Amino acid sequence: MARLIDGKQLSAQVLVEVATEVQQLKAEHGITPALAVVLVGDDPASQVYVRNKVLRAEEAGIRSIEHRLEADTDQQTLNAVVDQLNKDPEVHGILVQLPLPKQLDEAQIIAAINPAKDVDGFHPLSVGALASGQPSLVPCTPLGCMIMLQQIHNDLSGKHAVVIGRSNIVGKPMAALLLQANCTVTTVHSHTQNIEALCRQADIVVAAVGRPELVKADWIKTGATVIDVGINAVEVDGRRKLVGDVDFASVEPVAEAITPVPGGVGPMTIACLMKNTLTAARAQLASVASKDIESNPEPTAAVG
Ligand SMILES: Nc1nc2c(c(=O)[nH]1)N[C@@H](CN(C=O)c1ccc(C(=O)N[C@@H](CCC(=O)O)C(=O)O)cc1)CN2
Ligand SMILES: [Mg+2]
């Protein structure tokens, strides 16, 4: 039987660590990290995710600010909201919940977020920093997956990782993080030939393609670690059920370790958002402190 990597439990642990550090930041510097969440429209899944983000922020001692905009909001109005949040020194993290209604340009609004406050890690500067190995705010889902992998592998060096999917939110940053951790990384997607054979070579499989139960037992090498990022609603006997991109029942006996859906990567995504908000608040504090020193340097000792 595979080891179950319990995202509920692990995310609770991450949140306790974040909460402790938030309290320290408050006590030592009088700063309460603040996260602004912008939701446009009334997509029911997005509403659930935003509600959970606000609840987890509260648990971690992070102040949250919600902006809910009508489904027919135009780009200019959304830009104005982001602009105001960019300028507010008491806001440390900004996220615009995706997907956006179709009249809005996602790439444009992501690029409009102050990169220092880009707690989703989607801004082109954050993406470039991650790709070139510079410190950056890392997208929450891949960051959560890395924390899950660290539960199983002390050292990922030399492992062959196959990432299924090449989205900007998960597949691409996931591949970059695995490469950073010295894995040999293969990204497979809809144009890849022989996906199954490539997966069978993998020590680590990360499935992030949005296809219910695509990954079957015969895709998986005995002893591999399987991270399932998919959250797909399907109907079973007339009832709605959530399944991942991995056929859990068949893969679980083959794998060494596996994440469940629900209760796997999803809760880690939200915990990592709180981690990123803390990181952003700290970095902004350090940046303000260094600017103070630049504009008001210590007087040099008189030479006499
Ligand atoms: N701005 C962003 N938009 C989106 C992101 C993101 O990281 N930033 N990711 C997803 C949605 N998402 C967070 O925003 C998210 C999805 C799912 C979960 C989660 O905990 N899922 C549960 C099941 C939930 C259910 O019952 O429906 C689980 O897996 O256990 C958290 C966050 C797209 N948009
Ligand atoms: Mg996600």
3 appears as a binding residue in the annotation = no
Residue 97 burial by Cβ neighbours in a 10 Å radius (0-12, 13-18, 19+):
buried
Measured CA to CA, the distance from residue 156 to residue 172 in angstroms comes to: 18
pLDDT at 290: 83
Find the mean pLDDT for residues 211-221.
Answer: 98
pLDDT at 304: 43
93 appears as a binding residue in the annotation = no
Q: Token pair of 217, please?
A: 């037992």
Judged by its nearest atom, the ligand closest to the C-alpha of residue 139 is: 1
DSSP string, 151-204: HH-S--TT-EEEEE---TTTHHHHHHHHHHTT-EEEEE-TT-S-HHHHHHT-SE
Query: Quick check: is 120 catalytic?
Result: yes
How far is Cα of residue 225 from the mean position of the Cα atoms in its chain?
20
Find the mean pLDDT for residues 240-266.
Answer: 98
Name the percent of the chain lying above pLDDT 70.
98
Instruction: Name the phi and psi angles at 66, rounded to 5.
Output: -105, 135
pLDDT at 188: 98
Find the mean pLDDT for residues 85-91.
Answer: 98
- Contact between residue 181 and residue 211 where contact means Cβ atoms under 8 Å apart: no
Map residue 246 onto helix, strand or coil.
strand
Instruction: Name 270's Cβ contacts closer than 8 Å, sequence gap at least 6.
Output: 11, 49, 52, 53, 56, 140
- Contact between residue 148 and residue 268 where contact means Cβ atoms under 8 Å apart: yes
264 appears as a binding residue in the annotation = no
Class of the CATH-defined domain 140-265: alpha beta
Name the percent of the chain lying above pLDDT 90.
94
What residues does each domain of the chain span? 25-114, 140-265
Find the mean pLDDT for residues 113-142.
Answer: 98
Say whether pLDDT at 300 is over 80: no
Question: Can you identify the CATH homologous superfamily of domain 25-114?
Answer: Leucine Dehydrogenase, chain A, domain 1 (3.40.50.10860)
Query: Quick check: is 105 catalytic?
Result: no
* Catalytically annotated residue among 24, 83, 108, 120: 120
Closest ligand 1 atom to Cα of 265: 29
Do 25-114 and 140-265 agree at the fold level? Answer: yes
Ligand 1 pocket at CB < 6 A? 48-49, 95-98, 120, 140-141, 169, 231, 242, 261-264, 266-267, 269-270
Q: How far is the CA of 293 from the centre of ligand 2 (A)?
A: 39
For the chain, counts of helices (H) and of strands (E)? 10, 11
Map residue 299 onto helix, strand or coil.
coil
